[in-house]
Amino acid sequence: MKHLLLSAGVVLAASAAAAETEIRVHYAIPTIWAETQEALAEAFMATHPDIKITLDGPAEGYEDGVQRVLREGIAGTAPDVAYVGLNLWRVLEDRGVLQPLDDFLPADPMAAGYTPALLSLGQYEGHQWALGTSASTMVLYVNPDLVEQAGGSMDDFPKDFDGIIELAAKIDALGDTVEGVWIGRHDWRFQSLLGAHGGRPMTEDESDITFDSEAGMTAAGLYKRFAEDAGMSSMSENDARQAFPAGTLGLFFESSSLLKRFEEGSAGNFELAVFGTPVVAEENVYFPTGGSAIVMLTDDAEKQAAAWEYMTFVTGPEGQKVIVETTGYAPANKIVLDDESYLGAYYAANPNAKVGHAQVAAHAGPWYAYPGAEGVAVTDLIAAALVELTEGAAVEATISDLADTLRMQLGMK
Amino acid sequence: MRNRALTDLVLAGPAALVVILFIFLPVAVVFVLAFTDYQVGARSANWIGIENFATLFGSRQGRNALLNTVVYAGIVIPASVGLGLLVAMGLHRLTDILPRLSAVLRTVYFLPVAATLVAMAVSWQMLLHPSLGLINTWMSVLGLAPQQWLSDRGLVLYTLAAIGIWQSVGYNMVLFLAGLATIPTALYDAAAVDGADRGWSRFWTVTWPMLGPTTLFVVIVTAVNAFRVFETVATMTKGGPAFASDTIVYALYREGFVYFKAGYASAITVVFFLALLLLTALQIMLVERRVHYR
Amino acid sequence: MTARLSLDGVTKRFGTTEAVRNVSLTLHDGEFMALLGASGCGKSTTLRLLAGLEAPSAGRVLLNGRDVTRDSAAARNIALMFQSYALYPHLTVFQNIALPLRMRGLSAVQRLPGTALVSPVVRKRQAQIKAQVSQVAEMLRLGDLLARKPGQLSGGQQQRVALARALVREPSAFLLDEPLSNLDTQLRADTRDEIRALHRRTGYPFLLVTHDQSDALSMADRIAVMIAGEIVQVGSPKEIFHRPQSIAVAEFIGHHRINLLPPGPAGRLHPAGTRLWIGIRPEDLRLSPEGALAATVESRAFHGEETILKLRDDAGTALRIVLRGGETLPNPGDTVRLAANPAALHGFGADGRREDIPA
């Protein structure tokens, strides 16, 4: 009797699998991703009728999302795959809820469009834990009207930070309500400046802090110079994101992912321009890449196979085309960049987008997440130190102190 | 007899069970977690004694959050209680002269209480925007220097306090209006005959002492709300810049929900819970006997 | 007798209603006057006008011959005892009584706590206040209660505190608003005596505002009767009771409502009855076989020391008669004859005013 029931169960399960495997997908930030996710799921299911994609109700932000995935993990109801912030998958890895992807990757990742730079976004300790699904790096948004009013030239736009500071000071002098330059006092912005100077925040094995190097001092010093030499305001990130499209901020270092929003906000006001972040060092230059990654949580072999199908699709050229066109993020697959048949028309219509995407292709690098329990907490300490720099604190002392504090907090010796 | 006990148990049991399951138990869990280094999602946790508490009171960040909260409450409590009383007295008198206007103003003052704070925070952010905001525009019209209301480290806490006051004055006003309505007019007459017929002497002789119970309640409610300040911080400053507007409940949120440090967040919760309990008990013990005149 | 406090043609309007209409009233030095009226007749408003808690819409208020219409209550120095006593619940009995003195004798700065430590002037003044309060408290037997709060006192004790607070500052006049209405019967009688005694001892002019005619009749030297916002009669209790100047007063005064016979065919009670309304108090009517008035008993109510008969005469007028003692009582349905002493009859013209009945 028992035997009979059991075999009946097996038969049922087998036939269900043949018919349909359900993959539950978690994502966050519905304001950006809702439409994209629906489109991706639809396109995937059209070509894979045996797999059913179910989208969980989205989380408000990546942090909430990670919270939820962790909670569901404890309860045993975790989704099968999840989209998480590129800087946050390490939290999940640290808690041991992720499945390594090494066995799933094709023998020649390059052929599938996964360059080493792109793969590096999801690697830790020699294992592949995540695949980038969308990418963004820090670019420089410019209001050409203000540049010209200040006597600058768009054709001869400065290529280095000295020139940018000089120009920003002139724009800032235009009036009380006009700001020259602004950059967020934030871990990711700092890592971007650091990468532009060829520096790294940590050693390869994450055993020590390295942003107190010369590159780090110069990069951090930019904050002080922006404030002191170009009159950078202490306004908040939200304020700046309103000020730029409103036309009261001349130069704005921000994520390439905000292009669509700024273009819409400034429409009819001015025609914004985008430049890459100046590259200072000769070698080792990279830009920490924001955006999202996809991770696998299910430990059921059958589901893993179906989940990998889905992950291959969304990180492949077809899925990437959908993501780029609907979100404005840079793609995380080389094929889609090289083969004009995918996005050629899109770039023709959005020349500004090309700047950011090219920067990703050329210099994508990991957005370093500090290891351990205090990993997220220390990013706020970095932000606080950057605020102090803009308020006149000495660069050497502040950054050295910060590095020492981080070493202590993160348990490095 | 046993039958009756059984009936009582059936009647009171389910509710008690729900309270135990959904209130006492989670609180107990929080108290236990406070002594561990548990992280959200982690499979295990270590018993670390009072280390979390030591960090809260010993670290610069912990003390900063505590101090900010105390400063914020120190401004918001007296100001919103005082203003609430002032507005209530004004409207109370206006009711006799211009009842319509008084009713309209009452609604206006109460609006911030009724409005959802997150929505209001968006409006405040727009008003306070350093270059586009109305407030700085007015400041320049008046010949004053524009301010970075929410991003100047020296100013942000006071800006939030002002918003906190704006938010609670209306509520306090309504409570005080109710209190004022219960003062017997004969007492004002008696005071007038006795020589306390206007202004301060009238206020000190009748209004203030008779509002004692109302004031006690208002102060407790305002204090609890001030110490609990969170929404404005979370929506407008995220505790920044550089922790200048970090408050105890925001720190709790940050540690627990952004940094995933459940143990430490639990410790903050415990401290906050005990502090509020103590504060309320203290206020009631010290003041209760002196305001009800028995 | 010199006039101490008076209203001169005072009218008070609230919106469109006239609470008090053209009232003139004088309280003389040393007298005990009662202002008697039903509730809502305007007597409380009159009291507030006198005290300075309301400003008149028209007319003047005079104190010692001086126009004080625009003066505040405090400036008039008129004491007022409230019906609810209006004691300050947060202050002790001592502080309650001392409050008017502190308000008068100390400036706002001097009233601040701790000033006595600094200023000898304040110390001296406070000692005087203490002496005055003790004296009044002694007089009203409050000596042992000075440290208590009003909430810890009985109704009678609260009333004495209210009296003490009113009297402590040697007022120019003392107004009492329904002082007895919150007391039970026994305490009421004692308090009447106490207030009378207080009046004799202090010699201040007292004005008692009451709706209770027995309070007014038993305590006051003079009574002013107020009906619907107007003073309708002022006189001694005897005059008010025995010579009511109008039907309204006659109906208002007396334990039992006065019988009123409309003008009509001759032969009832008095010949003048053909022309005038005749009023006769129920206690002045008696059963008499020779009585001029025939009436049928409708009901009978036994009240202990007296029995009240309700009757109806042949013209249909309802009558009431109070019987005392052991007369044989008629039963409902019986027809009886009624008589009265001519001296007990009151005659009123068609306008309701008193007219003398020819003997």
A329-387: pLDDT as tens digits? 888 888 888 888 888 888 888 888 888 888 887 888 888 888 877 888 888 899 999 99
Is the predicted pLDDT of residue A13 greater than 60, yes or no?
no
Q: Model confidence over C120-149: pLDDT tens digits?
A: 888 888 888 888 888 888 888 888 888 888
The average pLDDT across A313-319 equals 92
pLDDT confidence of residue C266: 52
CATH superfamily of the A20-136+289-365 domain? Periplasmic binding protein-like II (3.40.190.10)
Bridge-based pairing of strands A51-55 and A21-26 is parallel
Token pair for C304: 């202990």
Q: How confident is the model at residue A17 (pLDDT cuts 50, 70, 90)?
A: very low
At C9 the three-state DSSP class reads strand
Burial-class residue C325 by CB neighbours within 10 Å (0-12, 13-18, 19+).
Answer: exposed
Task: Flag if A95 and B42 touch (Cβ within 8 Å).
Answer: yes
What are the φ/ψ torsions at residue B291 (nearest 5 degrees)?
-110, -15
Q: Does B40 sit within 8 Å of A70, measured CB to CB?
A: yes
A294 phi, psi to nearest 5 deg: -115, 140
Superfamily of domain C3-247: P-loop containing nucleotide triphosphate hydrolases (3.40.50.300)
CATH 3.40.50.300 location in chain C? 3-247
Res. B291 pLDDT band, cuts 50 70 90: low
Q: Which residues pair with C285 in a beta bridge?
A: C340
Q: Choose the closest CB to A179 out of B41, B131, B136.
A: B131
* Chain B: touching chains (3 or more CB pairs < 8 Å): A, C
The closest CB to that of B150, out of A64, A176, A236, belongs to A236
CB B173 within 8 A of CB B84: yes
pLDDT of residue A284: 86
Check if C176 contacts B (Cβ < 8 Å).
no
Determine the average pLDDT of the residues in A55-76.
86
CB C52 within 8 A of CB C72: yes
DSSP strand pairing (A179-183 vs C354-355):
unpaired
Residue predicted with more confidence, B13 or B176: B176
* Number of CB atoms found within 10 A of residue A231's CB: 16
- The count of residues in chain C is 359
Which of A206-210, B207-211, C58-62, C327-331 has the lowest average pLDDT? C327-331
Return the top range by mean pLDDT from A313-317, B120-124, B199-203, C346-350.
A313-317
The ranges assigned to domains in chain A are: 20-136+289-365, 151-286+372-409
- Which residue is closest to B202 within chain C, CA to CA? C103
pLDDT over 60 (residue A4): no
Sequence-separated (6 or more) residues with CB below 8 Å from residue A405? A378, A381
Cα-based distances in Å from C158 to A263, C88, C180, C181: 79, 11, 12, 13
Give the highest mean pLDDT range of A346-350, B70-74, C299-303: B70-74
pLDDT at B146 over 50: yes
Helix C93-105, helix B185-194: angle, nearest 10: 50
Half-sphere exposure of C147 (CA within 13 A, CB side): 1
Please judge whether C99 and B192 are an interchain contact, meaning their C-beta atoms are less than 8 angstroms apart.
no
- Chain A residue with CA closest to B137: the answer is A177
pLDDT at A9 over 50: no
Mean pLDDT, to the nearest integer, of B85-105? 87
Beta strand spans in A245-368 (E): 249-255, 273-276, 287-288, 290-296, 364-365
Q: How many CB atoms lie within 10 A of CB B250?
A: 23
From A184's Cα to the closest Cα of chain B, the distance in A is: 11
Task: Identify the band that residue C77 occupies on the pLDDT scale cut at 50, 70 and 90.
Answer: confident
Interchain CB distance below 8 Å, A176 and B132: no
Interface contact flag, C88 B201, Cβ < 8 Å: no
Residues A80/B26, Cβ–Cβ less than 8 Å: no
When the pLDDT of each residue in chain B is averaged and rounded to a whole number, the result is 85
Query: Are the C-beta atoms of B161 and B76 separated by less than 8 Å?
Result: yes
The minimal CB distance from A97 to the residues B41, B132, B254 is found for: B41
Q: Does B207 touch chain A (CB under 8 A)?
A: no
Name all contacts of A402-410 with Cβ < 8 Å and 24+ positions apart: A402/A212, A403/A209, A403/A211, A403/A212, A405/A378, A405/A381, A406/A209, A406/A370, A406/A378, A406/A381, A406/A382, A407/A208, A407/A209, A409/A374, A409/A377, A409/A378, A409/A381, A410/A209, A410/A370, A410/A371, A410/A372, A410/A374, A410/A375, A410/A378
Residue of C290, C349, C299 lying closest to C320 (CA atoms)? C299
Indicate the fold that domain A151-286+372-409 takes in CATH.
D-Maltodextrin-Binding Protein; domain 2 (3.40.190)
Per-residue burial over A298-320, b = 16 or more CB atoms within 10 Å of its CB, e = otherwise: beeeebbebbbbbbbbbbbbbbb
Cα angle C186, C188, C190; round to 5: 75
pLDDT value of position B288: 65
Query: DSSP H helical segments within A231-275, as ranges?
Result: 237-246, 259-266
Question: What separation in angstroms does the CA of C15 have from each of B181, C12, C57?
Answer: 22, 10, 11
User: Among 1.10.3720.10, 1.20.58.2240, 3.90.180.10, 1.10.10.10, what is the CATH number of B55-291?
Assistant: 1.10.3720.10
**pLDDT, position A51:** 92
- Which pLDDT value is given to residue A206? 85
Amino acid identity of residue B256, one-letter, is G
C103 chain-B contacts, CB cut-off 8 A: 194-196, 201
CA angle B72, B73, B79 (to 5 degrees): 95
Summarize the confidence of residues B103-112 as an average pLDDT. 85
Q: Cβ contacts (< 8 Å) between A374 and chain B: which residues?
A: 259, 261
Residue C267: pLDDT band with limits 50, 70, 90: low
pLDDT of residue C327: 67
What's the token pair of residue C311?
Answer: 């009757």
pLDDT average, residue stretch B84-88: 92
Decide if pLDDT at B251 tops 70: yes
What share of chain C has pLDDT > 70, as a percent? 97
Q: Is the pLDDT of residue C356 over 50?
A: yes
Where does the pLDDT of residue A121 fall: very low under 50, low under 70, confident under 90, or very high at 90 and above?
confident
**pLDDT tens, position by position, C200-246:** 988 899 999 999 888 888 889 999 999 988 899 999 999 998 899 99
Lowest mean pLDDT among A3-7, A189-193, C81-85: A3-7
Asked if residue B261 lies in contact with residue B39, where contact means CB atoms within 8 angstroms, the answer is yes
Q: Which residues pair with A330 in a beta bridge?
A: A135
Query: Which tokens in the block code for residue C149?
Result: 């709060």
Give the lowest-confidence range in A38-47, A273-282, C321-330: C321-330
> Residue A235 and residue B243: Cβ atoms within 8 Å?
no
Residue span(s) of chain C under CATH 2.40.50.140 come to 256-355
Q: Is the model's pLDDT at B226 over the cut of 60?
A: yes
Neighbours of B79 (CB within 10 A): 19
- How far lies C84's CA from each of A356, B186, C87, C148, C339, in Å? 82, 8, 8, 18, 46
> For all residues of chain C together, what is the average pLDDT?
86
Q: Do chains B and A touch (3 or more CB pairs under 8 A)?
A: yes
Predicted confidence at residue B136, as pLDDT, reads 85
CB proximity B261 to A under 8 Å: yes
Measured N-to-C along each axis, helices A214-230 and A187-196 cross at an angle, to the nearest 10 degrees, of 110
Q: At what angle do helices A214-230 and A395-409 cross, to 10 degrees?
A: 130
Q: Which pLDDT band, with edges at 50, 70 and 90, does C326 fall under?
A: low
What is each CA distance from C262 to A19, C251, C296, C347, C359, in whole angstroms? 110, 14, 18, 10, 19
Domain C256-355 is in which class?
A: mainly beta
Per-residue pLDDT, B75: 95
Q: What band does A44 get if pLDDT is binned at 50, 70 and 90?
A: very high
For residue B210, the distance in angstroms to the closest alpha carbon of chain C comes to 8
Tokens of B126: 């727009």
Mutation site for B-interface testing, chosen from A235, A244, A376, A405 by largest number of B Cβ within 10 Å: A235
**H-helix or E-strand containing C296?**
strand C293-302
**Burial tier of C235 (Cβ tally within 10 Å: 0-12, 13-18, 19+):** middle
Question: Å from C14 to nearest chain B CA?
Answer: 13
* Mean pLDDT computed over B18-40: 86
Q: What is the pLDDT of residue B292?
A: 61
Predicted local confidence at residue B12, as pLDDT = 85
